[in-house]
């Protein structure tokens, strides 16, 4: 089955991805690049948000302007997703944005995700933007989505920085309604379920905990 994922292939994304992947990039620059890629990714991922018309007076005349007409619930998956949060929130100053948090951690041996924290605002009828930089086996994202979809959001958009074909296929199969956007679709997972070529452990590189 063809993978349903949109790769945001902007030259600035490609350039930043080269730096993010580089093993010598230090945490401070890694955090800056994470914000930069997230901005470019989320602009594309939210291209189809609804707008409504509203008259606005310029100094010269009245114009039928358009304002964003959706309430966005941003949900970063802790801990690495936190590195993407500020860039998302800063893009949406004029509509109400609320933030929910999900803490998920993969077992180092089995790669199975378990939840250790959950605080979500009401999401019924809302557009949920789930952010997690790495989609590897898809276990963490599927865990998150299995808590989100029963609450009847209008849409769920997933923004990841690096994805693996295995994880995309799993999410496509289990949650075909989830719209996936990423900066890179990599080759495969290794035997420890790390993405190849990937960039290593995102959370460790973001927070200098290697
Ligand atoms: C990483 C990453 C994803 C998950 C992806 O988190 O941020 O949440 O792994 O892997 P999966 O698709 O196989 O579930 P990790 O569990 O290492 O936790 P961290 O963010 O706290 O470092
Ligand atoms: N989580 C990461 O941080 N990196 C991977 O390659 C896979 C999961």
Ligand 1 touching residue 202 (CB < 6 A)? yes
Nearest to 161 by CA among 56, 22, 37, 23: 37
Q: What is the number of the ligand closest to the CA of 80? A: 1
The whole-number average pLDDT for the span 114-142 is 97
The whole-number average pLDDT for the span 175-182 is 98
Q: Which residues are catalytic?
A: 106, 110, 201, 204
Ligand 2 touching residue 164 (CB < 6 A)? no
Ligand 1 touching residue 111 (CB < 6 A)? yes
Structure tokens at 71: 């309430």
| pLDDT tens-digit series, residues 13-51 | 999 999 999 999 999 999 999 999 999 999 999 999 999
Nearest to 148 by CA among 156, 159, 140: 156
- Start-end of H helices in the chain: 11-21, 27-45, 82-91, 139-148, 165-174, 202-207
Q: What is the pTM of this model?
A: 0.96
Which atom of ligand 2 is nearest the CA belonging to 133? 3
Nearest CA to ligand 1 atom 13: 137
Which atom of ligand 1 is nearest the CA belonging to 78? 20
Q: What is the number of the ligand closest to the CA of 82? A: 1
Spatial distance between the Cα atoms of 191 and 154, rounded to a whole number of angstroms? 37
Spatial distance between the Cα atoms of 142 and 135, rounded to a whole number of angstroms? 10
Q: Where are the domains of the chain?
A: 6-207
| pLDDT tens-digit series, residues 51-92 | 999 999 999 999 999 999 999 999 999 999 999 999 999 998
Which atom of ligand 2 is nearest the CA belonging to 80? 3
CB atoms within 10 A of CB 149: 16
Spatial distance between the Cα atoms of 77 and 151, rounded to a whole number of angstroms? 17
Which CATH architecture describes the domain 6-207?
Answer: 3-Layer(aba) Sandwich (3.40)
C-alpha 201 to ligand 1 mean position (Å): 8
Tokens 């580089």 sit at which residue? 22
């Amino acid at each position: 089955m063809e993978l349903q994922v949109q790769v945001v292939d902007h030259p600035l994304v490609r350039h930043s991805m080269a730096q993010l992947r580089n093993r010598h990039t230090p945490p401070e620059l890694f955090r800056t690049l994470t914000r930069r890629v997230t901005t470019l990714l989320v602009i594309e991922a939210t291209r189809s948000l609804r707008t409504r018309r509203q008259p606005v007076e310029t100094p010269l005349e009245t114009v039928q302007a358009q304002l964003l007409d959706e309430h966005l619930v941003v949900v970063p998956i802790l801990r690495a997703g936190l590195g993407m949060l500020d860039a998302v929130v800063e893009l949406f100053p004029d509509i109400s944005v609320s933030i929910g948090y999900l803490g998920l951690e993969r077992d180092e041996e089995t790669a199975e995700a378990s939840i250790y924290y959950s605080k979500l605002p009401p999401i019924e009828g809302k557009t949920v933007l789930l952010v997690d930089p790495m989609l590897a086996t898809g276990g963490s994202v599927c865990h998150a989505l299995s808590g989100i979809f029963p609450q009847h959001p209008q849409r769920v958009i997933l923004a990841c920085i690096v994805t693996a074909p295995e994880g995309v296929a799993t999410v496509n199969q289990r949650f075909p309604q989830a719209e996936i956007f990423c900066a890179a679709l990599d080759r495969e997972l290794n035997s420890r379920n790390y993405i190849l070529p990937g960039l290593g452990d995102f959370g460790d590189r973001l927070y200098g905990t290697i």
